[in-house]
Amino acid sequence: MKKIYCLVCVLLGFAVILSSCHTKKAVMRGEPGEIVKPQASIAEKYSAILGVGESDIQNGRLYAFIDQWMGTPYKFGGEDKDGVDCSALAQLLEQQVFGVNIPRSTSQQINVIKRKYEEELAEGDLVFFDYDGKKFSHVGVYLQNGYYVHASSTKGVMITKLHDPFTYKYFSRCGSVIIQETDPSPGK
């Protein structure tokens, strides 16, 4: 009986060790456009990054999406986890999180926003930058508390403070995506 008890204890110990070594992958729940409660670990992680309370992390789909893409390397023209560029990340995020389709390139994305003042930014708004003397050459998606997510050409998908000394000097425009209404009764 003692041997069985010891064996069970050893097996339980291994199970605990193995389960604690596995990091929990964020799960996107709900449908695009739906606000769902985030997993506790996601709320804890992103509240610390953004400097807000855990209760301020409310869009579980948004932060699960970010968690799945965080650290993905930058690749010009890339659209998947092997490499993604800034405009593809913005397009995928808007589509999968908010259920909104936007064009693929920054030069087209700039045309589908309603301009806002920086102080009016809300989660999901687009923020544009002019790098290398090119207008609207970089895009990110605003989160909250002055932070945005983007695909950096040097560091991949990451979250950056809008007022970061290096990037803010290139900040050029921001706004919310204009939702295109479609006629529910085709043929009219």
pLDDT tens figures, 19-30:
333 445 677 888
Per-residue pLDDT at 81 exceeds 50 = yes
In degrees and rounded to multiples of 5, residue 79 shows phi and psi of -140, 20
> What is the predicted pLDDT for the residue at 3?
54
Pick the catalytic residue from 6, 9, 21, 150.
150
Question: How many C-beta neighbours within 10 Å does residue 173 have?
Answer: 17
Cα-based torsion angle of the residue sequence 45, 47, 49, 52 in order, rounded to the nearest 10 degrees: -170
Give 129-186 pLDDT, tens digit per residue: 999 889 999 999 999 999 999 999 999 999 999 999 999 999 999 999 998 765 454 5
Whole-model pTM: value is 0.83
Q: For this structure, is 9 an active site residue?
A: no
In the residue annotation, 150 being an active-site residue is answered as yes
Of 6, 21, 22, 86, which residue is the catalytic one?
86
Pairing assessment for the beta strands 126-129 and 147-152 based on DSSP bridges: unpaired
Of 154, 143, 146, 157, nearest to 86 by C-alpha is: 157
Catalytic annotation, pick one of 9, 22, 138, 174: 138
DSSP 169: T
Question: In 3-state terms, what secondary structure has residue 75?
Answer: coil
The first and second tokens of residue 20, run together, are 């604690």
